[in-house]
Amino acid sequence: MRDGEPLVRWAWIGDHVDELAHYTGVHLRLGLLPVLLGLLISIPLGILCHRWRWAYPPTLTAANILYSIPSLALFMIFVRYTGLTERTVMIPLTLYTLSVLIPNVVDGLAAVPDPVRQAATAMGFSTVRRVVQVELPIAVPVVVAGVRVAAVSSISLVAVGQLIGQGGLGYYITRGLQLDFPTPIITATVLIMLLALVTDALLVLAQRLLTPWARGKGAAA
């Protein structure tokens, strides 16, 4: 860092508000779309794993193996098919969410009390209707707990996408490094952390509103 350069030049932030807002939006999209996609994949897989327990260990192992592949390697693989696009960042991030979301869907379904499941069957729910109207809603608190972890980690991981030029706010981190200029690095880092925290808080709020019935059990905490 150059001598005399302050950690944060506030004037720079003032000059870049519009641009920062743009990249924040991109960052959110890159971070949260994968969580949504991951959830759409994990719910059916989790239901299958809950119904056929033998399928769970191999599915979880596969998800964990995907998670263990370095993001850089995944970017390099997908860049051959999807180019330097946002998709190349979102596909690996989606795959990463699976190792958190699938177990949470399975655990959430397993947390449905047996008498409740039996009662639903005995009331005349078909299997599909029982899963959709009874079991999944009861699994919501546990699933949301997984979504929170996945969302926070996904938002912070987006910055790595800058390696292929799609890193949301990560753009400022590499720029700052190249220019030996700390202000954008610190601004982007703080913004990414704020995004993660605010997203987490909103998820907690959403869950409170979605599951008023869970309050007595402390499950909404």
Partner 1 sequence: MIRFDAVSKNYPNGTTAVDDLSLELAEGGITVLVGPSGCGKTTTLRMVNRMVEPTAGTVSLRGRDIRDVAAPELRRGIGYVIQHAGLFPHRTVLDNIATVPLLLGWGRKKARARAAELLELVGLPAGMAKRYPYQLSGGQQQRVGVARALGADPPVLLMDEPFSAVDPIVRAELQTELIRLQKELRKTIVFVTHDIDEAIKLGDNIAVFRTGGRLAQFDSPERLLADPADDFVAGFVGQDRGIRRLSFVDAAELPLREGRVLSAATPVARARAVDEPWVLVVDGDRRPLGWAAVGGLPDEGTLADAVLAPLGHTFSLAGDSARAALDAALLSPSRLAVGVDAQGKVVGVADAYELSAATSGPEKDGPSTSAAPSGEVGKQGPPVHEAGEKR
Tell me the helices (H) and strands (E) count for the chain, helix number first.
10, 0
Minimum CB–partner distance for residue 135 and partner 1 (Å):
10
Minimum CB–partner distance for residue 151 and partner 1 (Å):
23
Alpha-carbon gap, residue 74 to 201, rounded angstroms: 30
Which residue's CB is nearer to partner 1, number 105 or number 157? 105
Q: At what angle do helices 182-210 and 170-179 cross, to 10 degrees?
A: 170
Please count the other Cβ atoms lying within 10 Å of the Cβ belonging to residue 158: 27
Which residue's CB is nearer to partner 1, number 4 or number 218? 218
Which residue's CB is nearer to partner 1, number 123 or number 209? 123
Asked if residue 190 lies in contact with residue 200, where contact means CB atoms within 8 angstroms, the answer is: no
Which residue's CB is nearer to partner 1, number 81 or number 213? 213
Asked if residue 129 lies in contact with residue 168, where contact means CB atoms within 8 angstroms, the answer is: no
Minimum CB–partner distance for residue 105 and partner 1 (Å):
16
Query: Buried (b) or exposed (e) across 65-101, using 16+ Cβ within 10 A?
Result: ebeeeebeebbeebbeebeeebebbbbbbbbbbbbbb
Minimum CB–partner distance for residue 209 and partner 1 (Å):
13
Give DSSP secondary structure letters for 101-137.
HHHHHHHHHHTS-HHHHHHHHHHT--HHHHIIIIIHH
Which residue's CB is nearer to partner 1, number 136 or number 158? 136
Which residue's CB is nearer to partner 1, number 89 or number 220? 220
Minimum CB–partner distance for residue 215 and partner 1 (Å):
8
The residue ranges that bind partner 1 (CB under 8 A) are 113, 115-116, 118-126, 129, 134, 137-138, 140, 211-217
Which residue's CB is nearer to partner 1, number 4 or number 115? 115
Minimum CB–partner distance for residue 55 and partner 1 (Å):
22
Minimum CB–partner distance for residue 130 and partner 1 (Å):
9
110 to 23, 46, 116: CA distances (angstroms): 40, 10, 12
